Structures are given as structure tokens and as C-alpha cells.
Structure 1
Amino acid sequence: MAIEYPELADLWEESGCFQKPSALHGWLSGYLASGARLAPEEWLKEAADYLEIDDLPEALSNAVIELYMAVVEQLSAEDLDFHLLLPDDEEADVDEQVECLAQWSKGFLDGIGASGQLTRTPDKDVFEVLQDLDAFSQAHIEDINDPDNAELYLGLTEHARVAAMTVFYAYNQPAPSTSGVSPKTLH
């Protein structure tokens, strides 16, 4: 299930959303990565609240539900096909791409916070990637003419993608199986 940035960006604009689709994708990715799940009605309410829209238009509601299903599928896939919802270089200049990455990163952290799932101190790897995402949430281009901007952006994007998967795998492991273990008998 492929969700494309340009179609969502158009729908966001038509619906009067002030944020980029990247921000909501980040929020949802963080929420799901923390181990939390939402029923469709709950997700629509959370999305409307995050987008600051009282009543989601039908087309936007459908897209938001499709986004939820796509993110769950991508994060859960064994082929590591999760990708961030960001504009590519044909849709935006590197300055806007970095802005969207910053919004995605902030959204990811907001989603984790909204989930209420991280009640204990995260392990070292998770803590480090969350710190990285916090830094990414403040990213901006200082010199728009620097020829290395695009390459640096791609590196940050891949780092954010791996960070999201690191959190997901840390908090979405199946419970240990007890099959094959003989029950202990008390005498």
C-alpha cells in the first residue's frame, strides 16, 4: 500500500491543514512504534486533533485511515520497507525537504508522548535515537547554496528511518513463548 506525498499534500491544502503531511505521518509512526494501537474511530479523532480540524472531510478521513494501515504494514514488514512520508527532490527544494523532515521528527516524538507507552527509561539505543530525532526536529538549512545539502538531507532521512524502526522493534516484540516449557509442579 503506497501513500504518496504529493497527493496527500494536495489533500491537506484543500482541507485547510496548516501542517505538512509529514508531521502527521511522524506522529502516527511514533505512536505505533511505541507499541500503542488505535481503533479507526480513535485514530480519526487523534488525526483531527493533531491537524486542528474539527471535522475531517470524507476524502481526508479516507486518506488518514489508509495512512494508518500503510504505516502499520510498513513498520511490521520483515523486508524493512518503512519509509518516511517526505517530498522528493522533484516536489520540493532541499530547504522544504529539511523542513518536512523536522516536522516528521517532531511528530514522531509527539506521537510517542501521546501514546503514554514509554513509562520506563528507554534502553541506550532507543534513548540515543530519540535524542537524534529531537535534534532533527530543529533542523534547517543555513546555506541554501551548499552543494552538500542534498546528500546531508538523504543521510538524515535514512538515520530517521532507522531510528523509527529501532524504536518499533524495541517496543513491539512478541511476548516470549512458553510453548515447549513444562509447567512446574508444586508438591
Structure 2
Amino acid sequence: MSEAKLPAYNVLDSELKSHGLAVSPSELHGLLMGMICGGMAVSDDSWVAAVSDYANQGEPLIDSAKATVRKVFDAASAELHGMAQVLFTSTASELAESQFEVTLLLPDADVELELRAEALGEWVTNFISGMGLMGMKKAELTPEVTEAVASLEEIAQLGVDEDEDMAEQAHMLEQIIAFVPECVLSCLVGLGQRPDSVEQPEIPGMPADLKPTLH
């Protein structure tokens, strides 16, 4: 899969609004990342129907709107697919030396704190929703995925208190943003190994009984 780069938050926000799509960049990116972690095929247009239902009142996406969303999907799928290849094929020692970075599409760090916190809440909420669309059932999750989802649910409820120290809250928000990728990786591994996964990771030559381990 070729490399794909996420568009800038502000640019994507303008494009989505110009197409009349009722979704923020953070909501869209979180939804697509959750669906991919949940097992959505990355080789076709399976994502189109879900995005149409979620952001366009069920109406088909016009070609220009579809192209805008595809840029986000291609970047998300390239990133997660690349990680899955490493996670599911590397030895324990190789994993220990690997660097995993999960991108969150959020407003820039210099944006008002309340807006950045709100966008993070939108991202994690829709990430969970995306996994749910792919058949995630909490009763069937591994302990690691259950813990990750619980953490994300708590993060989704966080907000900014104007009566508290804003600098301290800004620092805390950055720590939380840095923690979310760990939850995403736990979900990518755990859901990829579900017996009823919608689709196993597209990794040629991967042994069926291979069990990845994060270090």
C-alpha cells in the first residue's frame, strides 16, 4: 500500500463543510480508524456506506465529497496496515525495538484548549463507534481491549474546567493525547485476533496461529 498523508485539520474542515457533510475532521478520522481496527476491508469502498449514514443523512456521497473522505481513509488505512504488518510478523525482540506512532487528527496545539479537548473527545467517541460498526461486542473482548475501550470511554467524558489552572489542564491534555495511541494499538492487536473478526489483517504469509505480543 502506498504512503498517504492526512490533510491538515483546517483544510479538511473547510472541505467537509463545503460538501455539506455533518462531521468534523476528528469525528471522521476517529470513525474510520475504529472501523479499520474493527476489521473493515481496506481494499475496497466498504467505508462509503457508513460515512454516508453518519455524515450525510444516508444520502450517497458525491464524487468530490467521496474524494475528500478517501484522503482520510487512505492515510488511516496505510498507517494501521503498516503497523499490523509489524505487529503480526515481528519477533518479540524486533517489536521491542519498533516505534509505533498513531496519528490523531486534531486541531493544532495552539488552538484554544476547549476546542482541542472537544476534538479529542469526538475522536475517541467515534473510534469506539467505528469498532462497534464492525461487530465489536464488549462481552467477547480480550482483557486488553476491554481495558483500552474503558480508558477511551473515560477520556471521551473529559472536559476543560475554566475555574481550574489552564496551563495544568493543557499539560494533562497533551499527556492524554499521547496515551490514546496505546489504546488504539491494543485494539488493533486484540480485534485483529478475534475468531469472528470481520477481516483478518491483510498480511501475506502470516501464520494463522501467530499471536502478536506488544512490548
Same fold at TM > 0.5: yes
Matched, 1:6 2:10: yes
Give the secondary structure class of the aligned counterpart of 1:148: helix
1:82-140: CA deviations, max 9, x gaps?
211111124x2111011011011110111111111447521222111101111112221
- State the partner residue of 1:130: 149
1:32-89: CA deviations, max 9, x gaps?
1122326644312211111134243433211211222211111122452321111112
Gaps of 5+ in 1: 178-187
User: Which of 164, 167, 171 is equivalent to 2:191?
Assistant: 171
Contact 2:39 2:192 in 1 (8 A): yes
Contact 1:5 1:87 in 2 (8 A): yes
Please, what TM-score do these two structures have when normalized by structure 2? Answer: 0.73
CA RMSD of aligned residues (A): 2.1
In 2, the alpha carbon distance for the partners of 1:68 and 1:52 equals 16
Give the secondary structure class of the aligned counterpart of 1:141: coil
- State the partner residue of 2:91: none
Give the secondary structure class of the aligned counterpart of 2:166: coil
Equivalence map 1:105-184=2 (5 Å): 105-118=124-137, 121-143=140-162, 146-173=166-193, 174=206, 175-176=208-209
1:138-164: CA deviations, max 9, x gaps?
221112752112211111111112111
- State the partner residue of 2:24: 20
In 2, the alpha carbon distance for the partners of 1:62 and 1:9 equals 14
In structure 2, the CA distance between the partners of 1:134 and 1:176, relative to structure 1 (3 Å rule), is same
Contact 1:133 1:160 in 2 (8 A): yes
Contact 1:71 1:82 in 2 (8 A): no
Which amino acid in the other structure matches residue 14 of structure 1? S
Which amino acid in the other structure matches residue 159 of structure 1? F
Matched, 1:73 2:73: no
In 1, the alpha carbon distance for the partners of 2:154 and 2:188 equals 19
In 2, the alpha carbon distance for the partners of 1:100 and 1:68 equals 18
Moved more, 46-55 or 67-76: 46-55
1:17-43: CA deviations, max 9, x gaps?
333111121111111112232664431
Please, what TM-score do these two structures have when normalized by structure 1? Answer: 0.83
Task: State, as a whole percentage, how many aligned pairs show the same letter.
Answer: 21
Gaps of 5+ in 2: 87-98, 194-205, 211-215
